[in-house]
Structure 1
Amino acid sequence: MLELGYGASSTDFTCGYRIYISGDTLMVDELNEIPKRYAGHQIDLMLAHLGGTTIPSPFIGRLMEPLALMVTMDAEQGLQLIQLIQPDLTIPIHYDDYDVFTSPLEDFQRMVEAAGLGDRIVIMDRGDQFRFLVKGLEQEQE
């Protein structure tokens, strides 16, 4: 969690913009701690690592068949994360960097739309910029 804001010291810090960055993870029980820790606090933006990234695992058992392990969220888990964290906006990232992705961005978009949350995601192309205002800094700059 990144908290951007202002204050002369840590004791008078005022958060003006809060960003959650998922990192390479899956929907695990530990993520349930985030809404508990930030209850009553707005999460303005979430950067969600998606794509259902897979990596090969060692051969399993006597079958000697390779097994792929997923290490980033797929579309369904991305939707579950939005529903859990409830950010104002979500930007999906890291979903097409390699050839080991199993869950295309279109699947995520379709699921989010079906859940009625389409207005809460921002799809960006490489090189795009997302601009936001850290609340409270406008007074500091005057």
Structure 2
Amino acid sequence: MTEVKLTHVGGPTTLVEVAGWRLLTDPTFDPPGRRYGFGLGTSSRKLTGPALALADLGPIDAVLLTHDHHADNLDDAGRELLSTVDDIVTTESGATRLGGRARGLRAWQSLTLTRPGQPAIEITATPCRHGPPLSGPLVGDVVGFALRWPGQQHGALWFTGDTVLYRGVREVAGRIPVGTAVLHLGGVRFPITGPLRYSMTARQAVRLCELVRPHTTIPVHYEGWSHFQEPRAAIERAFAAAPDPVRDSVHWLTIGAATEIIV
């Protein structure tokens, strides 16, 4: 049995502590108030700051960066953090832009993090499509991450990344036994592109969980920015109406507090 501590810092930013490792996803530590451009005339204002300051975070062994080109997944303060980290795992195009220690993965590629005296962690990139069909060249590359190490009881720790529900994400159900699914939600829309969605809705998340059947489901990345269209209350309603195994799997993290999860 492996106990993991997860700390939701805010947005997609989550600290993973397991067996001596300290991994951080999508570092975002800028203060609130600023508006950021996301390309193609879209933009969003950051409404809330991180629950933990960078100075209080402690040392980080590796950053798992689903994509580097949107500020709600990597902002200015997060970029400063990257220079202090030995391992950065991201998309192939992101690794080219970031250079240095960044290593890029395509969907279904894997690499292994190793440290003396600590268990190896295998990281597999999972597919994402950060928008409607054919939007990939416009919105850019994104990946999720499935983390596996010896002793997991229920299966991999999976961060979906920013994605809508589509064939590539559904393939995870047939390829990776998932114990804990950390879902990037929010049902993102922008006024300039009308009804088009750029991240999963709560209803899509329920359908995904019916396929993947995680033991634990953790919603993140649904708050703190003006482009999110589905707050926690909407997500709670969707999961309350889900089949019992899906409804019972949901675990909400208290933002800023370390929570123990059995993976």
* TM-score for the superposition, normalised by structure 1: 0.70
Say if 1:56 and 1:69, in contact at 8 Å, map to a contact too. no
Letter in 2 for 1:119: D
2:158 aligned with 1:20: yes
Q: What SS does the corresponding residue of 1:54 show, helix, strand or coil? A: coil
- Counting matched residue pairs gives 115
Name the residue aligned to 1:99.
226
Q: Contact 2:170/2:208 (CA < 8 Å) preserved in 1?
A: no
User: What CA distance in whole angstroms lies between the structure 2 residues aligned with 1:68 and 1:110?
Assistant: 21
Say if 2:215 is the partner of 1:88: yes
Name the structure 2 match of 1:3.
148
How big is the shift at 1:99?
0.9
Aligned ranges 1:58-97 → 2 under 5 Å: 67=194, 69-97=196-224
1:68-127 per-position Cα deviation (integer Å, ceiling 9, x unaligned):
532111111111111121100011001002011111221221121212233210112211
State the TM-score, normalized to the length of structure 2.
0.40
Where relative contact order (Cα < 8 A, 6+ residues apart) is larger, the structure is 1
Matching of residue 50 in structure 1 with residue 185 in structure 2: yes
- Correspondence for 1:36 among 160, 167, 174: 174
Whether 2:252 is the aligned partner of 1:132: answer no
| Letter in structure 1 aligned against 2:164 | L
Residue pair 1:53, 1:71 contacting (<8 A) in 2 also:
yes
C-alpha distance 25-119 of structure 1, shift in aligned 2 (>3 A) = same
Segments of structure 2 that go 5 or more residues without pairing to the other structure are: 1-145
RMSD of Structure 2 on Structure 1 (CA): 2.1
Counterpart residue type for residue 253 of structure 2? M
Higher helix share: 1
Which consecutive residues of structure 1, in runs of 5 or more, have no partner in the other structure?
Answer: 6-13, 58-65, 135-142
Give every structure 1 segment of 4 or more consecutive aligned residues whose post-TM-superposition deviation is greater than 3 Å: 14-17
Identical-residue share of aligned pairs (%) = 27
Q: Which has the larger radius of gyration?
A: 1
